[in-house]
Amino acid sequence: MKVGFRMNLFSLFQELKSKIADRSALVTTVGLGYVGLPLALTVHEEGFPVLGFDLNESRVTRINAGEQVISYFAKDRIAKAVASGRFSATSDSARLAEADIITICVPTPLSDEREPDLSYVLRAAEEIANWLRPGQLIVLESTVWPGCTATKLRPILERSGLKAGRDFFMGFSPEREDPGNDKFNTKSIPKVVGADDEHSLQLLQQFYSAVVDKTVPVSSTATAEAVKLVENTFRNVNIALANEFKRALSAMNVDVWEAIDAAATKPFGFMPFYPGPGVGGDCIPVSPVYLSWRARDVGSEMPIVDLSRNTNEDAPCTMAARLIALLKDRGVNAASAKVLLLGITYKRDVEDTRESPALALLNQLELQGIGAVDYHDPYFPVMPVTRDHPHLAGRKSVPLDSAALSMYDLAVVTTDHDVVDYEAVARDSRLIVDTRNVFKKKKLAVSGNKLVKL
C-alpha cells in the first residue's frame, strides 16, 4: 500500500513536471487585478497557455476584447495575448478544473476594524476546492500572515477529499508587483517560492524559473509568507521615519529632501526614503498590520512596527490640521476656504486609489471644517466607488486652467503625476503645499512666498 501511494504521487509529480518543461501546462490566475493580470500575461508571454479567472464579468469582457485595462501596460499587450489564441479570461468557476497550475492573486485588505481580511482568499479557496483534481499545483500569491497557507488555505482545499502533498501540490510565492515601475517588471523581479513538501517546492521552482529571471527558494510556506511582510513593513517603518525627519528638520529650517539626497550618497549603511502625505496601496499600509496581528496571535509584540503604522495612518489627519493652521495664518477661515488636491491616486501615474492617503486627506479636510475640497486627477475624471471612501464617488476632477486655479485658497500636491501642468500650478495658484517635492524635482520656480513646506 505504501509503495502504491508513492508511485501515485511520483506519477502526478512527473506528469506536471513534464507539462511545465514543455510549457503545455494550463495556468489559471484567480484575480485579474494589478497583481494577477501582469502575472497572467507574463506567464503567457513565456509560452504557457493561460486562462484568467475573475468574478468581475465586466473586467473579463474587457480583457477578452483586448482592451488596455491597466494604463501603464503597452497599449496592445492584452490584445496581442488574446489574439494568440492561448490567452483568455473567464468568470466561470467550473473552468478551474481545466487548470494544471492555479495562482491565487486576490486582495487581502484590512477590515473596518483595521485587522486582516482574508475573505477574498477564503472565497477563492472554496471555489477552487469545488473543482480541485489530482495533480494540480495551487499557489497563493496574496499577502497573508505566516502560517495562513497551511492553516487556512489547505484545510479548505482538503475538504475536496484530496490531500496536499499526496493528491495535489501547494505552495506560496509572494507577489512583488510595483505598478508603473519602468525599471522592474514581473519577469525581472526575483520570485520567492516556498512549500511544505519537497515535490511542491520543486514544482514551484520549476514553474517560476520558466517565467521569471530568478527564483529564491525558502524552506516553508510560512517563511515565504513572512518575506513579503518583512519587505513592506521595512518600508512602512522607514517612511514613518522620513516623515518624522521632515517635521523636525523643517522646524530647524533644513530642507529634508536635500538632506536625504545628500545622505544617500553614502555608499553603505543608508537607503533613502522620502516623506509624503501618508502611505497607500494594498501592500505598505497592509503588511505591517498582518505581521503585527500574527505576532500578537503567537504571544509576541512589535511596538516599533505598531508605532510606525499608527504614525502613517494618522498622517492625513495630521496633514489636514496643519493645512488648516496654515490657512488661518494667512487669514483664511476654514469654513470659507477652498482647497484643491492635485492627485487622488496613492501613487504617481497609476490609476489605483486603494488606501490612498490623498482620499484620506480629502475626507479629513472636510471633517475638520474646510468649506470646499476639490481635486484634479487626469486618471479619474470622475471619482470611482472606492473601498475606503465610497461616499466620495461621483465627484468630478476640475480643470487646471488659470481661472480655476486662482479660485482656490490652497493647492496641495498629493500625488505627483507626470502629466499635470505644474507650470500652471506654480503660476496661477494663490498658495501651494508640495508634499511630494515635485517643484524642486522639476526645477520649477515659484514666485514670492506662496510655496510652503510643511
For residue 362, CA distances in Å to 4, 173, 319, 369, 400 come to: 64, 36, 10, 11, 18
CA 305 to chain centre: 19
CATH for 2-219 is 3.40.50.720
C-alpha cell at 14: 512527473
How far, in Å, are 72, 124, 311 from residue 110 at the CA level?
26, 17, 17
H or E stretch covering 83: helix 77-83
- Beta bridge partners, 218, equal 194
Establish whether domains 2-219 and 234-452 are of one fold: yes
- Chain position carrying cell 486582516: 116
**Residues with active-site annotation:** 283
Whole-number pLDDT of residue 128: 98
DSSP string, 14-55: HHHHHHHHTT---EEEE--STTHHHHHHHHHHTT--EEEE-S
Domain chopping of the chain, boundaries = 2-219, 234-452
The predicted pLDDT at position 11 comes to 94
The residues near 3 (Cβ < 8 Å, ≥ 6 apart) are none
Give residues with Cβ within 8 angstroms of 114, minimum separation 6.
289, 313
Sheet holding 27-30, edge to edge: 87-90, 50-53, 27-30, 101-104, 137-140, 169-172, 191-194, 215-218
Residue 276, CA distances (Å) to 66, 124, 265, 411 in order: 36, 35, 21, 15
**8 A C-beta contact, residue 203 and residue 264:** no
The answer for residues whose C-beta is within 8 angstroms of residue 37's C-beta and 6 or more apart is 29, 52, 63, 69, 70
Residuewise pLDDT in 10s, the chain (454 residues): 333 444 588 899 999 999 999 999 999 999 999 999 999 999 999 999 999 999 999 999 999 999 999 989 999 999 999 999 999 999 999 999 999 999 999 999 999 899 999 999 999 999 999 999 999 999 999 999 999 999 999 999 999 999 999 999 999 999 999 988 889 999 999 999 999 999 999 999 999 999 999 999 999 999 999 999 999 999 999 999 999 999 999 999 999 999 999 999 999 999 999 999 999 998 999 999 999 999 999 999 999 999 999 999 999 999 999 999 999 999 999 999 999 999 999 999 999 999 999 999 999 999 999 999 999 999 999 999 988 899 999 999 999 999 999 999 999 999 999 999 999 999 999 999 999 999 999 999 998 789 997 7
pLDDT at 3: 39
What's the CATH number for 234-452? 3.40.50.720
Alpha carbon 77 to its chain centroid, in Å, reads 21
Query: How far apart are the C-alpha atoms of 224 and 362, rounded to whole Å?
Result: 37
DSSP 199-219: HHHHHHHHHHHTTSS-EEEES
Q: At 120, which helix (H) or strand (E)?
A: helix 119-131
Residue type, 398: V
State in Å, rounded, how far the first CA of the chain is from the last one. Answer: 72
Measured distance CA(157)–CA(128) in Å, rounded: 7
Helices 221-251, 256-263: crossing angle, 10 deg rounding: 130
- Residue 103 pairs with which residues in a beta bridge? 29, 139
C-alpha cell at 416: 505627483
